[in-house]
Structure 1
Amino acid sequence: MNLPVVFWLIPLASVCALMMAWLFFQNMMKEDEGSPRMKEIALYIRRGAMAYLRQQYRVVLIVFVVLAIIFAIMAYGFNAQNPWVPFAFLTGGFFSGLAGFFGMKTATYASGRTANAAREGLHKGLKIAFRSGAVMGLVVVGLGLLDIAVWFLILNSFYSDMDPHTALITITTTMLTFGMGASTQALFARVGGGIYTKAADVGADLVGKVEADIPEDDPRNPATIADNVGDNVGDVAGMGADLYESYCGSILSTAALGATAFAMSADDMQLRAVIAPMLIAAVGVFLSLLGIFLVRTKDGATMKDLLHALGVGTNTSAILIAVATFGILYWLQIDNWMGIGCSVLSGLAAGVIIGQATEYYTSQSYKPTQRIAEASQTGAATVIIKGIGTGMISTCVPVLTISVAIMLSYLCANGFDLSMSATSISRGLYGIGIAAVGMLSTLGITLATDAYGPIADNAGGNAEMSGLGEEIRHRTDALDALGNTTAATGKGFAIGSAALTALALLASYVEEIKLAMSRAVTHGQQFIDAAGQVFDPAKATMPDFMNFFQVNLMNPRVLVGAFLGAMAAFLFCGLTMGAVGRAAGKMVSEVRRQFHEIKGILEGKATPDYGRCVEISTKSAQHEMILPSLLAIIIPIVVGMILGVAGVLGLLVGGLAAGFTLAVFMANAGGAWDNAKKSVEEGRFGGKGSPCHKATIVGDTVGDPFKDTSGPSLNILIKLMSMVSIVMAGLTVACM
């Protein structure tokens, strides 16, 4: 089919994003890294991070090769799989890992330079940290759009002889499969990085700050280098891979839904509906760049000033993309362009509301976190109780927001048609998918605010270990506290977008089942419905499929699947929390051993064995990440083989509902505990070293795996289970 000229805006936007990322990286590298001691500490962290990443990629490579071979056997040996799947799977994983690698490389070079810039003033420190974080955001959207554009061109050329309407459905569903590669890589990166960083963080806090009564990031603490390395492998490399697959997944699932919803439309309406989410994302790249340049502040700024500075950039980008979206849809002349534009608006609004709600519940500038700090006056137990309660209450606004966004985006896109006809459902689901695209369209700047956090945290660590003085440390603490809030906001944003994307993937799963059944029919297999009639998947609508597979609440397969999906979320959290506990236990023992056996550490007369702590975190993360990550792949396959399509749909719904709520709870509780500790460290209730401070450290220690391991990994879990179900649709049909 002939592509419109406007399609080339998509690869152009990707190239612009990558070029600006390179420019920001080069400008950062020109900055002074500081004193010889600052350079030495930055080098320790950089080497540790890269060593861990190389080891992780070796493990993940083995998993990818095995899965690619299985997909190849299914595709070429049993005709139960699309022949492009093995290649798409590998490229998705490769680009996801590449995004994380580039982001982490930038962060490990930027932290020392941010610390040195803080010696000159808060404004320069914020600028270097934020624009270095922007490298991650721009690399993710640049590589994502490049991957999508190249695959679309390749498959469009390959299926050029096919009927255009059928070709677009085949192309978009095929492209969905590289989302599984991205999701698999992201889950390993998030889980492994989360275990690494929290094992080191917990060990450093419990022994160093609570038992030895030394400051955070003190060079006398053997775990402090591992802790700083962990910030990069978990919150930068892991997060980059995570949001890469969210970004691509939302665009591709919406494109697939557009191909189905407008399949019967005249002219090239179907093609325009397919490229619309890609164009919205492309325009979002340029508006994200504008927002990045708007972020600025002055020396002496307060926390609210810093939050306002970031808010100006992100909110300006969000408002402009909302306006631009209506222009894009109008220019493409898509049916009901105004309604679909409102769907995008609902996604954008949901993202902003979730971000603001997360900020309210996790920032030390607001009552919920302040009350957790107040609870420290009666001990660590009340800090933990108050934090858990705050986290649970904080789920209300995001859940209600996503629920309203789902209903609005569905109804706006189908013209408020409540008939539940095939056309009404497919158009409504397209609206939900494009709402997710709207939420993620400004990911270039949204991810910059998130990646900024670990860079600022590492800058504070470098300042402490280099002995830069109280004034400089106060500036880096301000940047770090802002980073805690932006990181929590970013996690809430990622989880919210995951909910919309996963819902769109549910509909895409049904379309993939349809294609798998059609392939089976061409090889002589017949499907008989409940009335004893031959079921023709090629002519069936989505309601027909729901009736054929008896997808309703009275079907025990659906209910059992829903229970299994909810269980999977809790099982996954339990395994990852347990992994952090075991790894942290080893770290605590090692730090205690060094304090006891290496004389002179606490007096600053001897150098700790930093390498041993880095080694413990690395080995623990590599070992512990395998089981939870593989379960996310195995569970949908087993459920599909035993309970069929109805069971899988129940699994995905149960996993989505439980996983989304649990993820918000864990991320917000962890963020609130962290900032409650920061609030006490600023002088409230006795300040650093006081009993209240130690109580909040215990709360923060409990919250560490909540917010940095289990919570953020859940949004990948719910999407990965959907992606695995889509890729393994052929096997599910073969087992019918």
Structure 2
Amino acid sequence: MAGQLPPLHNHHQMAADAVLTSGNRSLVLVIAVIAAAALVVAVVLLRQVLAAGEGTDGMKKIAAAVQEGANAYLARQLRTLGVFAVVVFFLLMLLPADDMNQRVGRSLFFLVGAFFSAATGYIGMWLAVRSNVRVAAAAREASSGAGGPEKDLVTVSHNAMKIAFRTGGVVGMFTVGLGLLGASCVVLVYTADAPKVLEGFGLGAALIAMFMRVGGGIFTKAADVGADLVGKVEQGIPEDDPRNAATIADNVGDNVGDCAGMAADLFESYAVVLVASLILGTVAFGDAGLAFPLLVPAIGVITAMIGVFVVAPRRTDRSGMTAINRGFFISAVISLALVAAAAYAYLPATFAELDNVGDSEIAAHSGDPRLIALVAVAIGIVLAALIQQLTGYFTETTRKPVKDVGRSSLTGPATVVLSGISLGLESAVYTALLIGLSVYGAFLLGGASIMLALFAVALAGTGLLTTVGVIVAMDTFGPVSDNAQGIAEMSGDVEGPGAQVLTDLDAVGNTTKAITKGIAIATAVLAAAALFGSYREAFETEAAKVGAAADELGLSLDIAQPNNLVGLILGASVVFLFSGLAINAVSRSAGAVVYEVRRQFRERPGIMDYTEKPEYGRVVDICTKDALRELATPGLLAVMAPIAVGFTLGVGALASFLAGAIGTGILMAVFLANSGGAWDNAKKLVEDGHHGGKGGEAHAATVIGDTVGDPFKDTAGPAINPLLKVMNLVALLIAPAIVTLSYGDDASPGVRAVVAVLAMAVIVGSVYVSKRRGSVMEGDGAAERQASAPDPVTAP
């Protein structure tokens, strides 16, 4: 039968024989030291960034307001998530495991993964809100009267860019350092049980990342959309004009959304790929499978250090992207060379020489494990480079697609929106094809063994993540540059050449954010594909324990079966529902911001002539409350949907559910990210003087496009990455329970039905509550939503 499982092998039991030999233990210890070294480098970079000047008192005051708002939001969010983490900790204790050691370790490292993910995001935010004013101060040195002699424009631009990029370098080093350190500690402590324990570590990282992505995305885009619609469109004032009450909230949002959210997102990608690699590695490579999947990202840590320091702009560079691309490609090439050396030094020439391989087909494989490992990692590295170029093509201001979107502004906002949507749809196809070909290319390396093929896919994921340190640096560069421009504009202390330096850096930052979103999507798909293999291994093992046959209806992976086809459709549907809920949450919150900013302009007429100050704190509080309230529904959907499908339709249908979500998730995430990035840079293009420049009808049209694209690229699109991994990890954790309750002596259809009904009730209830909130209308409770907290700028 098509899609039928091969004869069941107890892969997990055979893999449990894998041990951490003294040589492997020493290697993992060295890897842990490398991870710790990344944290040391992060501290060195942090001190370099904080040593830069902070500019004028006006700039410092605005930066302090942004810092206060960002700290207040993240503190409230982390308190909320802390309660959720404790609940999940106890739920994980109830799930089956081979022994109590695994069960306790899995739950404990769930908390460790959650803490590391939150810490990575918080550190990214903490430094970004201190770096932004320093970048603005560096750009100010290009203007005369800036407290010293006017400096050469190129030198100033390079100094400002270096501060922004090294801020990202700090976050990148913490991402790779904490991720690798956590995984290394699990392997050292739990050895053969490490893959099971790492499931908890990965789930903790993924859950927190998803909540930070969704919450931060709702906050930042509600403020951004509200600020643009009232400030730019209705009042005709610049984006970061201090008269707009939403400007501080907008700048806060850049940090809690892009910095904290993306840092946590890429950290959990890092953790989840390591989880999948180690689960499959113990089957495919035996003892070596406990160390080699850690060796590849350890090399990435070293090359990330090189990449961050290599990004030093030159006078001959065409733009800031030239320097960033140089650092990225140098890092990628060095990674590939070092991985080749490591593979040929560490792995044997034949599979027969590997100890404790958990699959007889792999042990008899005629290939060279060194070459297979190297090619798999190379596929991941090349994929990162290709996506970097492809995403840059569709989102850079100097490329034809964005110029076409900008040109469409001459005929109004409708054509801007249509051109951006068509660009996003087209670019999603090319990116999906690249990722699909990469997965298939890695899969072919396994030959007749599906477990080896899936391990090759996981290794491709580790290869892609060898560049993650530079990728995180690229992403953080974007919001830091954006905030720097905002501080400069609000303070009025950076003019002329200095202001142009910041505008150029902001445009580069928009491109780097789009590129890192594309690469993050690729890591999500490779991680999800590898976890899919881990899921198969998990339910196969449990089925063998209870004596279930491979052709049982609930176990078969035959897509022709109605239950599996339904599972596939449901998986695709969840991605659409999740995206719709996220965008709708932004729409509701942005509506509240629009009415609040309008109220302030109407009731405080002195704002426009600078005789009165806006109440910035009220908008910050609206965004904070809305973001935290809207977190629950998408989060519950991600956790409960796999439970509802698995306990209702079986593990085969749950596998189809994951496949549907992965396929749809790739296309949706890239479409949303690239459409939003193109609209944003088309606006920058017009603001630089094309098609009539600022204030014209073309500018208004691109502002509309940008506001549509804001929740696309910074809320719904990026949140799909952790969504896929959360659902895969939940499926991996519950698969043994589904099989146990469905087959064998412990089968309990009643318990299975109760769990399924409860999961569906939670999903329906949370969506219903979310939809009942509706849109915020003026006079419809808007006054009650306004904050009573003191204003962070005007308060003493």
TM-score by length of 2: 0.84
1:684 has 2:690 as partner: yes
Identify the range of structure 1 (56-65 vs 370-379) with the bigger mean alpha-carbon deviation: 56-65
1:576 has 2:582 as partner: yes
Identify which of 202, 206, 228 aligns with 1:205: 228
How far has the Cα of 1:403 moved from its partner? 1.5
**Where do 1:319-718 residues align within 5 Å?**
319-334=333-348, 335=350, 336=368, 337-412=370-445, 414=446, 417=447, 420=448, 424-467=449-492, 468-517=494-543, 521=545, 526-529=546-549, 549-718=555-724
Contact 1:80 1:516 in 2 (8 A): no
Equivalent position amino acid for 1:370 in 2? K
Identify the range of structure 1 (360-369 vs 3-12) with the bigger mean alpha-carbon deviation: 3-12
| Other structure's SS at 1:365 match | coil
Contact 1:80 1:730 in 2 (8 A): no
1:112 has 2:133 as partner: yes
How far has the Cα of 1:362 moved from its partner? 0.7
Per-residue CA deviations over 1:26-48 (Å, capped at 9, x if unaligned) read: 11111111111111011000010
Contact 1:74 1:81 in 2 (8 A): no
Contact 1:557 1:650 in 2 (8 A): no
Q: Which stretches in structure 1 are left out of the alignment for 5+ residues?
A: 157-167, 263-269, 530-543
How far has the Cα of 1:548 moved from its partner? 8.1
Contact 1:505 1:723 in 2 (8 A): yes
State the superposition RMSD in angstroms: 1.8
User: For 2:547 and 2:207, how far apart are their aligned partners in 1?
Assistant: 32
User: For 1:35 and 1:556, how far apart are their aligned partners in 2?
Assistant: 67
| Other structure's SS at 2:556 match | coil
Aligned equivalent of 2:180: 145
Contact 2:306 2:331 in 1 (8 A): yes
Per-residue CA deviations over 1:450-474 (Å, capped at 9, x if unaligned) read: 1110001000001101102132221
Identify the range of structure 1 (32-41 vs 546-555) with the bigger mean alpha-carbon deviation: 546-555
**Where do 1:185-200 residues align within 5 Å?**
185-200=208-223
Identify the range of structure 1 (562-571 vs 425-434) with the bigger mean alpha-carbon deviation: 425-434
Equivalent position amino acid for 2:621 in 1? E
User: For 2:321 and 2:551, how far apart are their aligned partners in 1?
Assistant: 48
| Other structure's SS at 2:650 match | helix
Contact 2:93 2:103 in 1 (8 A): no
Contact 1:69 1:86 in 2 (8 A): yes
User: In the superposition, relative to structure 1, how do residues 431 and 77 fare at CA in structure 2: closer, same or farther (>3 Å)?
Assistant: closer
User: For 2:196 and 2:685, how far apart are their aligned partners in 1?
Assistant: 49
| Other structure's SS at 2:397 match | coil
How far has the Cα of 1:288 moved from its partner? 1.0
How far has the Cα of 1:272 moved from its partner? 1.5
Equivalent position amino acid for 2:513 in 1? A
Identify the range of structure 1 (327-336 vs 592-601) with the bigger mean alpha-carbon deviation: 327-336
Identify which of 290, 301, 315 aligns with 1:285: 301
| Other structure's SS at 1:550 match | coil
Contact 1:34 1:116 in 2 (8 A): yes
User: For 1:587 and 1:333, how far apart are their aligned partners in 2?
Assistant: 58
Aligned equivalent of 1:535: none
How far has the Cα of 1:516 moved from its partner? 4.3
Contact 1:76 1:83 in 2 (8 A): no
Aligned equivalent of 2:83: 62
User: For 2:552 and 2:169, how far apart are their aligned partners in 1?
Assistant: 44
| Other structure's SS at 2:398 match | coil
Q: Which stretches in structure 2 are left out of the alignment for 5+ residues?
A: 1-19, 142-155, 351-367, 743-796
Equivalent position amino acid for 2:497 in 1? E
Equivalent position amino acid for 1:124 in 2? N
Contact 2:140 2:495 in 1 (8 A): no
User: For 1:692 and 1:153, how far apart are their aligned partners in 2?
Assistant: 60
User: For 1:443 and 1:307, how far apart are their aligned partners in 2?
Assistant: 17
| Other structure's SS at 1:689 match | coil
How far has the Cα of 1:173 moved from its partner? 2.8
Contact 2:203 2:726 in 1 (8 A): yes
User: In the superposition, relative to structure 1, how do residues 545 and 617 fare at CA in structure 2: closer, same or farther (>3 Å)?
Assistant: farther
How far has the Cα of 1:514 moved from its partner? 4.1
Contact 1:641 1:731 in 2 (8 A): no
| Other structure's SS at 1:632 match | helix
Equivalent position amino acid for 1:104 in 2? M
1:41 has 2:62 as partner: yes
Contact 2:102 2:197 in 1 (8 A): no
User: For 1:735 and 1:640, how far apart are their aligned partners in 2?
Assistant: 11
Aligned equivalent of 2:736: 730
Contact 1:115 1:460 in 2 (8 A): yes
Identify which of 239, 245, 258 aligns with 1:222: 245
User: For 1:466 and 1:607, how far apart are their aligned partners in 2?
Assistant: 13
| Other structure's SS at 1:84 match | helix
Identify the range of structure 1 (470-479 vs 457-466) with the bigger mean alpha-carbon deviation: 470-479
Equivalent position amino acid for 1:494 in 2? A
How far has the Cα of 1:91 moved from its partner? 1.2
User: In the superposition, relative to structure 1, how do residues 80 and 109 fare at CA in structure 2: closer, same or farther (>3 Å)?
Assistant: closer
User: For 1:77 and 1:11, how far apart are their aligned partners in 2?
Assistant: 27
| Other structure's SS at 1:735 match | helix
User: For 1:548 and 1:56, how far apart are their aligned partners in 2?
Assistant: 39
User: For 2:734 and 2:261, how far apart are their aligned partners in 1?
Assistant: 25
Aligned equivalent of 1:162: none
Per-residue CA deviations over 1:413-446 (Å, capped at 9, x if unaligned) read: x2xx3xx4xxx21111111110010001121111
How far has the Cα of 1:154 moved from its partner? 1.5
User: In the superposition, relative to structure 1, how do residues 79 and 359 fare at CA in structure 2: closer, same or farther (>3 Å)?
Assistant: same
1:180 has 2:186 as partner: no
Percent identity, please: 41
| Other structure's SS at 1:244 match | helix
User: For 1:568 and 1:548, how far apart are their aligned partners in 2?
Assistant: 21
How far has the Cα of 1:69 moved from its partner? 1.7
User: For 2:330 and 2:547, how far apart are their aligned partners in 1?
Assistant: 53
Contact 2:206 2:265 in 1 (8 A): yes
User: For 1:171 and 1:209, how far apart are their aligned partners in 2?
Assistant: 54
User: For 2:644 and 2:310, how far apart are their aligned partners in 1?
Assistant: 50
TM-score by length of 1: 0.91
User: For 1:666 and 1:315, how far apart are their aligned partners in 2?
Assistant: 26
User: For 2:293 and 2:185, how far apart are their aligned partners in 1?
Assistant: 16
How far has the Cα of 1:517 moved from its partner? 4.8
Aligned equivalent of 2:360: none
User: For 2:711 and 2:219, how far apart are their aligned partners in 1?
Assistant: 10
Contact 2:283 2:289 in 1 (8 A): no
How far has the Cα of 1:68 moved from its partner? 1.3
Identify which of 15, 21, 25 aligns with 1:2: 21
How far has the Cα of 1:254 moved from its partner? 1.1
Equivalent position amino acid for 1:24 in 2? L
Contact 1:463 1:472 in 2 (8 A): no
Equivalent position amino acid for 1:339 in 2? I
| Other structure's SS at 1:177 match | helix
Aligned equivalent of 1:14: 35
| Other structure's SS at 2:527 match | helix
